[in-house]
Amino acid sequence: MSNDWAGLTYLQSGRSVKKWEDLLSIAEDKGWWIFRGQGSASHTLMSSLERCCEQLGTKVVYAYDVETTVIREFVRRFHHYSSYNPLNEIEWLSIMRHYGAPTRLIDWTYSLYIAAYFALEQCKKDEDSAIWAVDLTWLHDKCRKNIKPQKGSRPKKRIDRIFWEKPKDLSEVFGDKKTPWVAPVNSLNLNERVSIQLGVFLAPCDLSISFMKNLAALTSTSDHVQKYVIPYRVRNEFLKRLHHMNISRASLFPGLDGFAESLGVYSPTVMKVSLGESKDLMTCRRRTFL
Protein backbone atom coordinates (compact mmCIF):
# COMPACT_ATOMS: atom_id res chain seq x y z
CA MET A 1 0.00 0.00 0.00
CA SER A 2 2.85 2.37 0.83
CA ASN A 3 4.22 1.96 -2.73
CA ASP A 4 0.88 2.70 -4.37
CA TRP A 5 1.49 5.65 -6.68
CA ALA A 6 -1.65 4.78 -8.68
CA GLY A 7 -1.93 7.19 -11.63
CA LEU A 8 0.34 9.75 -9.98
CA THR A 9 3.71 8.20 -10.85
CA TYR A 10 4.89 11.55 -12.22
CA LEU A 11 5.10 12.70 -8.59
CA GLN A 12 7.66 10.10 -7.53
CA SER A 13 10.63 12.30 -8.33
CA GLY A 14 9.09 15.70 -7.52
CA ARG A 15 10.50 19.16 -8.09
CA SER A 16 13.50 20.10 -5.99
CA VAL A 17 13.50 23.06 -3.60
CA LYS A 18 17.23 23.72 -3.40
CA LYS A 19 17.23 27.12 -1.69
CA TRP A 20 14.93 29.35 0.37
CA GLU A 21 14.20 31.56 -2.63
CA ASP A 22 12.68 28.54 -4.38
CA LEU A 23 10.17 28.19 -1.56
CA LEU A 24 9.33 31.89 -1.73
CA SER A 25 8.77 31.56 -5.48
CA ILE A 26 6.35 28.65 -4.98
CA ALA A 27 4.42 30.61 -2.33
CA GLU A 28 4.10 33.56 -4.70
CA ASP A 29 3.03 31.37 -7.62
CA LYS A 30 0.43 29.26 -5.81
CA GLY A 31 -2.69 31.30 -5.23
CA TRP A 32 -5.53 29.22 -3.83
CA TRP A 33 -3.72 25.94 -3.20
CA ILE A 34 -3.47 23.70 -0.16
CA PHE A 35 -0.34 21.95 1.07
CA ARG A 36 0.81 18.95 3.08
CA GLY A 37 4.30 18.38 4.46
CA GLN A 38 5.66 14.84 4.70
CA GLY A 39 8.90 13.75 6.35
CA SER A 40 9.84 11.38 3.54
CA ALA A 41 9.75 12.33 -0.13
CA SER A 42 9.44 8.65 -1.05
CA HIS A 43 6.17 8.11 0.82
CA THR A 44 2.74 8.32 -0.77
CA LEU A 45 -0.29 10.04 0.72
CA MET A 46 -2.10 7.78 3.18
CA SER A 47 -4.84 8.44 5.69
CA SER A 48 -4.39 7.29 9.27
CA LEU A 49 -7.26 4.87 8.60
CA GLU A 50 -5.27 3.29 5.76
CA ARG A 51 -2.21 2.97 8.00
CA CYS A 52 -4.36 1.45 10.73
CA CYS A 53 -5.69 -1.20 8.34
CA GLU A 54 -2.16 -1.90 7.12
CA GLN A 55 -0.85 -2.35 10.66
CA LEU A 56 -3.78 -4.60 11.60
CA GLY A 57 -3.19 -6.71 8.51
CA THR A 58 -6.68 -5.80 7.29
CA LYS A 59 -7.38 -5.46 3.59
CA VAL A 60 -8.30 -1.91 2.61
CA VAL A 61 -11.61 -3.19 1.25
CA TYR A 62 -12.69 -3.61 4.92
CA ALA A 63 -11.79 -0.01 5.80
CA TYR A 64 -15.50 0.92 5.94
CA ASP A 65 -16.07 -1.55 8.77
CA VAL A 66 -12.96 -0.36 10.62
CA GLU A 67 -14.04 3.27 10.24
CA THR A 68 -17.56 2.58 11.53
CA THR A 69 -16.19 0.70 14.55
CA VAL A 70 -13.57 3.34 15.41
CA ILE A 71 -16.14 6.17 15.21
CA ARG A 72 -18.58 4.24 17.40
CA GLU A 73 -15.96 3.48 20.04
CA PHE A 74 -14.74 7.07 20.13
CA VAL A 75 -18.25 8.53 20.43
CA ARG A 76 -19.22 6.09 23.19
CA ARG A 77 -16.27 7.04 25.40
CA PHE A 78 -15.68 10.68 24.50
CA HIS A 79 -17.84 11.90 27.41
CA HIS A 80 -15.33 10.36 29.84
CA TYR A 81 -12.79 12.97 28.78
CA SER A 82 -14.81 16.02 27.73
CA SER A 83 -18.16 17.67 28.42
CA TYR A 84 -18.22 19.19 24.93
CA ASN A 85 -20.88 17.85 22.56
CA PRO A 86 -19.77 17.89 18.88
CA LEU A 87 -22.49 19.12 16.56
CA ASN A 88 -22.24 16.62 13.69
CA GLU A 89 -20.24 13.82 12.05
CA ILE A 90 -17.71 16.14 10.38
CA GLU A 91 -16.90 17.76 13.72
CA TRP A 92 -16.61 14.34 15.36
CA LEU A 93 -14.11 13.27 12.70
CA SER A 94 -12.16 16.51 13.09
CA ILE A 95 -11.88 15.99 16.85
CA MET A 96 -10.91 12.36 16.35
CA ARG A 97 -8.13 13.41 13.99
CA HIS A 98 -7.05 16.07 16.49
CA TYR A 99 -6.48 13.44 19.16
CA GLY A 100 -4.88 10.86 16.88
CA ALA A 101 -7.73 8.43 16.19
CA PRO A 102 -7.55 6.77 12.74
CA THR A 103 -9.90 8.45 10.25
CA ARG A 104 -10.16 8.89 6.50
CA LEU A 105 -9.29 12.59 6.89
CA ILE A 106 -5.81 13.77 5.85
CA ASP A 107 -4.48 17.03 7.29
CA TRP A 108 -3.62 19.83 4.85
CA THR A 109 -2.99 23.55 5.32
CA TYR A 110 -3.54 26.72 3.35
CA SER A 111 0.01 27.78 4.31
CA LEU A 112 2.98 26.55 2.29
CA TYR A 113 5.29 27.56 5.14
CA ILE A 114 3.41 25.55 7.76
CA ALA A 115 3.51 22.54 5.42
CA ALA A 116 7.25 23.08 4.98
CA TYR A 117 7.71 23.10 8.76
CA PHE A 118 5.92 19.77 9.20
CA ALA A 119 7.92 18.24 6.35
CA LEU A 120 11.23 19.34 7.85
CA GLU A 121 10.27 18.50 11.44
CA GLN A 122 9.40 14.91 10.57
CA CYS A 123 12.26 14.07 8.22
CA LYS A 124 15.00 11.63 9.26
CA LYS A 125 18.73 12.23 8.97
CA ASP A 126 19.93 12.37 5.35
CA GLU A 127 16.42 11.75 4.02
CA ASP A 128 14.70 14.30 1.79
CA SER A 129 11.27 15.57 2.80
CA ALA A 130 8.43 16.78 0.59
CA ILE A 131 5.56 19.24 0.28
CA TRP A 132 2.48 18.10 -1.61
CA ALA A 133 0.29 20.74 -3.25
CA VAL A 134 -3.28 20.59 -4.60
CA ASP A 135 -5.03 23.29 -6.61
CA LEU A 136 -8.16 24.02 -4.56
CA THR A 137 -9.96 25.90 -7.35
CA TRP A 138 -9.55 22.86 -9.58
CA LEU A 139 -10.63 20.51 -6.77
CA HIS A 140 -13.80 22.51 -6.18
CA ASP A 141 -14.55 22.29 -9.89
CA LYS A 142 -14.16 18.52 -9.64
CA CYS A 143 -16.56 18.55 -6.70
CA ARG A 144 -19.17 20.26 -8.87
CA LYS A 145 -18.87 17.49 -11.42
CA ASN A 146 -18.86 14.63 -8.93
CA ILE A 147 -21.70 15.69 -6.65
CA LYS A 148 -24.85 14.00 -7.88
CA PRO A 149 -28.43 14.98 -7.09
CA GLN A 150 -29.88 13.33 -4.00
CA LYS A 151 -33.54 12.89 -3.23
CA GLY A 152 -34.81 16.06 -1.61
CA SER A 153 -31.56 18.01 -2.07
CA ARG A 154 -30.16 20.46 -4.59
CA PRO A 155 -26.59 19.87 -5.86
CA LYS A 156 -25.76 23.59 -5.83
CA LYS A 157 -26.80 23.90 -2.18
CA ARG A 158 -24.65 20.90 -1.25
CA ILE A 159 -21.68 22.30 -3.18
CA ASP A 160 -22.02 25.66 -1.46
CA ARG A 161 -22.09 23.96 1.93
CA ILE A 162 -18.84 22.16 1.13
CA PHE A 163 -17.16 25.35 -0.06
CA TRP A 164 -18.28 27.22 3.05
CA GLU A 165 -17.28 24.30 5.29
CA LYS A 166 -20.79 23.62 6.53
CA PRO A 167 -21.50 19.95 5.68
CA LYS A 168 -22.81 17.98 8.63
CA ASP A 169 -21.83 14.51 7.53
CA LEU A 170 -19.90 12.66 4.82
CA SER A 171 -23.06 11.52 3.04
CA GLU A 172 -23.89 15.18 2.44
CA VAL A 173 -20.54 15.50 0.67
CA PHE A 174 -20.29 12.20 -1.18
CA GLY A 175 -23.88 11.01 -1.44
CA ASP A 176 -24.59 7.29 -1.48
CA LYS A 177 -22.37 6.26 -4.40
CA LYS A 178 -18.85 5.14 -3.50
CA THR A 179 -16.96 6.42 -6.51
CA PRO A 180 -13.25 7.31 -6.37
CA TRP A 181 -12.68 11.02 -5.79
CA VAL A 182 -11.49 13.40 -3.07
CA ALA A 183 -13.22 16.38 -1.45
CA PRO A 184 -12.10 19.10 0.99
CA VAL A 185 -14.00 19.05 4.28
CA ASN A 186 -13.87 21.00 7.51
CA SER A 187 -16.06 21.46 10.53
CA LEU A 188 -17.75 24.83 10.85
CA ASN A 189 -16.52 24.88 14.47
CA LEU A 190 -12.73 24.80 14.14
CA ASN A 191 -10.70 23.42 17.02
CA GLU A 192 -7.71 25.45 18.18
CA ARG A 193 -5.05 23.54 16.27
CA VAL A 194 -6.91 23.52 12.95
CA SER A 195 -7.44 27.26 13.32
CA ILE A 196 -3.81 28.04 14.19
CA GLN A 197 -2.42 25.73 11.52
CA LEU A 198 -4.78 27.12 8.83
CA GLY A 199 -5.94 23.56 8.41
CA VAL A 200 -8.32 21.79 6.09
CA PHE A 201 -8.93 18.08 5.52
CA LEU A 202 -9.07 16.05 2.34
CA ALA A 203 -11.35 13.03 2.48
CA PRO A 204 -11.52 10.14 -0.01
CA CYS A 205 -14.95 8.97 -1.10
CA ASP A 206 -14.14 5.30 -1.80
CA LEU A 207 -12.49 3.65 1.19
CA SER A 208 -12.17 0.31 -0.59
CA ILE A 209 -9.16 1.72 -2.44
CA SER A 210 -6.23 3.89 -1.36
CA PHE A 211 -6.30 7.66 -1.03
CA MET A 212 -3.82 7.84 -3.91
CA LYS A 213 -6.21 5.99 -6.22
CA ASN A 214 -9.06 8.28 -5.16
CA LEU A 215 -6.89 11.30 -6.00
CA ALA A 216 -5.60 9.78 -9.24
CA ALA A 217 -9.19 9.31 -10.44
CA LEU A 218 -9.40 13.12 -10.67
CA THR A 219 -6.21 13.77 -12.62
CA SER A 220 -3.23 12.18 -14.37
CA THR A 221 -1.18 15.34 -14.93
CA SER A 222 0.97 17.64 -12.79
CA ASP A 223 -1.14 20.71 -13.51
CA HIS A 224 -3.16 20.49 -10.31
CA VAL A 225 -1.36 18.03 -8.03
CA GLN A 226 2.34 18.62 -7.43
CA LYS A 227 5.15 17.58 -5.11
CA TYR A 228 8.22 19.56 -4.06
CA VAL A 229 11.25 17.79 -2.59
CA ILE A 230 13.34 19.52 0.10
CA PRO A 231 16.91 18.15 0.38
CA TYR A 232 18.00 17.26 3.90
CA ARG A 233 21.05 19.51 3.64
CA VAL A 234 18.87 22.67 3.82
CA ARG A 235 16.82 21.46 6.81
CA ASN A 236 18.45 23.57 9.52
CA GLU A 237 18.56 26.70 7.37
CA PHE A 238 14.86 26.41 6.50
CA LEU A 239 13.87 25.66 10.11
CA LYS A 240 15.81 28.72 11.22
CA ARG A 241 13.99 30.94 8.72
CA LEU A 242 10.61 29.44 9.68
CA HIS A 243 11.44 29.98 13.36
CA HIS A 244 11.94 33.69 12.69
CA MET A 245 8.52 33.68 10.95
CA ASN A 246 7.13 32.31 14.26
CA ILE A 247 6.41 28.92 12.67
CA SER A 248 7.50 26.19 15.06
CA ARG A 249 5.96 23.39 17.10
CA ALA A 250 5.62 25.86 19.97
CA SER A 251 3.38 28.17 17.91
CA LEU A 252 1.53 25.44 15.99
CA PHE A 253 0.80 23.36 19.10
CA PRO A 254 0.15 25.92 21.89
CA GLY A 255 0.86 24.62 25.34
CA LEU A 256 3.73 23.17 27.32
CA ASP A 257 3.93 20.00 25.22
CA GLY A 258 4.34 21.96 21.97
CA PHE A 259 7.01 24.21 23.49
CA ALA A 260 8.92 21.30 25.02
CA GLU A 261 8.89 19.33 21.77
CA SER A 262 10.01 22.40 19.80
CA LEU A 263 13.32 22.39 21.70
CA GLY A 264 14.21 19.10 20.02
CA VAL A 265 13.41 20.34 16.51
CA TYR A 266 15.01 23.78 16.30
CA SER A 267 15.99 26.35 18.92
CA PRO A 268 18.61 29.08 18.30
CA THR A 269 20.06 28.56 21.76
CA VAL A 270 20.22 24.77 21.44
CA MET A 271 21.77 25.10 17.98
CA LYS A 272 24.53 27.38 19.31
CA VAL A 273 25.41 24.87 22.01
CA SER A 274 25.30 21.92 19.62
CA LEU A 275 27.72 23.73 17.31
CA GLY A 276 30.01 24.73 20.16
CA GLU A 277 29.31 28.43 19.64
CA SER A 278 28.15 29.25 23.17
CA LYS A 279 30.69 28.15 25.80
CA ASP A 280 29.14 30.40 28.46
CA LEU A 281 26.00 28.28 28.46
CA MET A 282 28.04 25.11 28.76
CA THR A 283 29.92 26.38 31.83
CA CYS A 284 26.76 27.29 33.75
CA ARG A 285 24.88 24.03 33.09
CA ARG A 286 25.49 22.76 36.65
CA ARG A 287 23.81 25.86 38.10
CA THR A 288 20.63 25.57 35.96
CA PHE A 289 18.47 23.98 38.65
CA LEU A 290 19.96 25.80 41.65
pLDDT band, residue 272 (cuts 50/70/90): low
Is residue 242 in a domain? no
Alpha-carbon distances of 121 from 50, 200, 235, 258, 266, rounded to whole Å: 22, 20, 9, 13, 9
* Whether residues 19 and 143 fall in one domain: yes
Query: What are the tens digits of pLDDT across the range 242-268?
Result: 999 999 999 999 899 899 999 888 877
* Whether residues 184 and 91 fall in one domain: yes
Say if residue 284's pLDDT is above 60: no
What residues make up the domain containing 261? 248-290
pLDDT band, residue 2 (cuts 50/70/90): very low
Mean pLDDT of 107-123: 96
Return the pLDDT at 1.
Answer: 41
pTM value > 0.75: yes
Helices (H) and strands (E) in the chain, counts: 15, 7
Q: Which is more confident, 33 or 176?
A: 33
**Cβ neighbours for 42, distance < 8 A, ≥ 6 positions apart:** 12
Is residue 243 in a domain? no
Looking at the structure of the chain, the number of domains it has is: 2
Domain boundary among 192, 217, 237: 237
* Whether residues 129 and 273 fall in one domain: no
Provide the mean pLDDT of the chain: 87
Q: Are 146 and 70 in contact (CB under 8 A)?
A: no
Measured in whole angstroms, the distance separating CA 70 from the mean position of its chain's CA atoms is 20
* Whether residues 166 and 212 fall in one domain: yes
- Which of 25-34, 56-65, 170-179 shows the lowest per-residue confidence on average (mean pLDDT)? 170-179
Q: Are 198 and 161 in contact (CB under 8 A)?
A: no
Return the pLDDT at 224.
Answer: 94
Mapped onto helix, strand or coil, the DSSP state of residue 259 is helix
Is residue 4 in a domain? no
* Whether residues 230 and 267 fall in one domain: no
* Whether residues 276 and 213 fall in one domain: no
Alpha-carbon distances of 122 from 26, 98, 118, 257, 274, rounded to whole Å: 21, 18, 6, 16, 20
Return the pLDDT at 41.
Answer: 95
* Whether residues 121 and 62 fall in one domain: yes
Mean pLDDT of 136-165: 73
Return the pLDDT at 279.
Answer: 55
